[in-house]
Amino acid sequence: MVVVFRASRNTKTAADYYAGGRAFTGPQNGIAISGDYLSAASFLGIAGAIAVYGYDGFLYSIGFLVAWLVALLLVAELLRNTGKYTMGDVLSFRMRERPVRTAASLSTLAVTFFYLLAQMAGAGGLVALLLGIHSKAGQALVIAVVGALMIVYVLVGGMKGTTWVQIIKAALLIAGAFVMTLWVLGLYGFNLSGLLGDAANVAGGDSVLNPGAQYGKTETSKIDFVSLGIALVLGTAGLPHVLMRFYTVPTAKEARRSVVWAIWLIGLFYLFTLVLGYGAGALVGPDTIKDAPGGVNSAAPLLALELGGPLLLGFIAAVAFATILAVVAGLTITASASFAHDIYANVIKKGQIDDKNQEVKIARITAVVIGIVSILGGIAANGQNVAFLVALAFAVAASANLPTLLYSLFWKRFNTTGALWSIYGGLAVTIALIVFSPAVSGSEDAMFPSLDFAWFPLKNPGLISIPVSFLLGYLGTVLSKDKADEAKYAEMEVRSLTGTGAEKAVSH
């Protein structure tokens, strides 16, 4: 809170509120990106998945990490050169502005909502474990408190405050995971084989060391895993709160540097989760983890309790709590910026805003509304595995955002109709397949286990929804009578590849 209030003293203009005044260096932004990315899903969800499922759980983190190469090679620098504050800036650069901005904003809100659900559910599970709250009402109260704190962060600090919170939180999280990793390895004389062997003994067999514990039982589950992997690898480059981070640096070179820093930090962290997950499996035991309040998400805190007693548990829980707060603040500012900048300023007001502070005022009101909606959604999703909920957010990002972004940046013929078909089609197909999947109904671990309206067999829709979205973008472009603006495309190509003209547009 102190950091956020200090940062807020310099938050005056829209550029300050949305992009932190573009005052962050590549390394600072890289640490903040890793803070944004290493959410409750990475820390609580993946460590839990490895503790219970072993090898299959670790594959989540591989998907999350490889995804950064797609972001680095295809998106980071081009986006920084072409846009101003949001993904809608890039997509509307050479299209009809109002319909495309509306579509981009709705897609951003959808991705943000799924991601916020995951963080809120993580908060409920974490505090349930910490305070021994087993009642749903108590956990709902905790989620409401997290939501209220997050709203204050965003209203007061804007992007500058949120970024500093991310930097501090990333440092704490990586340091905490590093200490626990050394501790676990130290107990086994720094012999990784001894740790893995012990984890296998406690689990009652080698299933945690081999593929298939979570995804190998049926042919459908194997296909489901491929679907999940595709969504994770392609989703990062379409996540609005990660894309928006590229606007907080002054140049495209710094945007590139920030991604390289993020890759190193995130890669290191996922190696720690491998040790923490198997350590929790060996020292706490999969059955104890499943039975704890918060379920699979409680593996890392329980391991901390086993290693260092209440003090270490308190520190790790505080770090996890800061993780959730920082990530939800980053998500909320992205969604509120998208609504205020794309829909209010450019669609409703058609870019004619007399009072420059009016746009920031609308962003702040939107942040409050998003906060309230995410609290209610988090209460409904409480008890779900957070890593799985985040995978759904990635599926929406990979289906609705990424095809449109890539077509806009690289395909000369791409036009407004193609963009709208791709965004709305990808969004509709993904959400429809999620609603009618075993994740929502028809199975014991579904959101509504007592209902059964699941006809789509896969829990993650990426395998179907991503190709469908690419196809719709292509068909919309080819079948429509819209003519692509070739002069605008040429300008966009030069700007995206060289950065020429980008600084002028930004200062304007």
Query: In this structure, what is the dihedral angle of CA atoms 234, 239, 243, 248, given to the nearest 10 degrees?
Result: -140
Using 50, 70 and 90 to split pLDDT, how confident is the model at 507?
Answer: very low
Question: If DSSP codes are grouped into helix, strand and coil, which group holds residue 445?
Answer: coil
pLDDT, averaged across the chain:
83
Greatest mean pLDDT range, 60-64, 109-113, 320-324 = 109-113
Whether 256 is covered by a domain: the verdict is yes
Greatest mean pLDDT range, 9-13, 184-188, 386-390 = 184-188
Round the CA-based radius of gyration of the chain to a whole number and report it. 22
Whether 406 is covered by a domain: the verdict is no
503 vs 213: CA distance, rounded Å: 51
Question: If DSSP codes are grouped into helix, strand and coil, which group holds residue 448?
Answer: strand
- Reported as half-sphere exposure (CB side, CA atoms, 13 A), residue 199 has a value of 29
Whether 373 is covered by a domain: the verdict is yes
Whether 479 is covered by a domain: the verdict is no
Span 256-274, average pLDDT: 90
For residue 358, the model assigns a pLDDT of: 78
pLDDT at residue 446 greater than cutoff 80 = no
Q: What pTM was estimated for this model as a whole? A: 0.83
Query: In this structure, what is the dihedral angle of CA atoms 93, 96, 102, 105, given to the nearest 10 degrees?
Result: -10
Q: Name the domain count of the chain.
A: 1
Integer CA distances (angstroms), 426 to 25, 242, 404, 468, in order: 35, 20, 10, 7
Whether 450 is covered by a domain: the verdict is no
Q: Tell me the DSSP string of 381-440.
A: HTTS-HHHHHHHHHHHIIIIIHHHHHHHHH-TT--HHHHHHHHHHHHHHHHHHHHTSTTT
Query: In this structure, what is the dihedral angle of CA atoms 264, 265, 268, 273, given to the nearest 10 degrees?
Result: -140
Whether 413 is covered by a domain: the verdict is no
477 vs 471: CA distance, rounded Å: 10
Q: Is 369 exposed, middle or buried (0-12, 13-18, 19+ CB in 10 A)?
A: middle
Domain housing 269: 2-10+17-387
Whether 156 is covered by a domain: the verdict is yes
CATH number at residue 337: 1.20.1730.10
What are all long-range contacts of 138-141, with beta carbons under 8 Å and residues at least 24 apart? Answer: 139/379, 139/382, 140/379, 140/382
Using 50, 70 and 90 to split pLDDT, how confident is the model at 508?
Answer: very low
pLDDT at residue 492 greater than cutoff 60 = yes
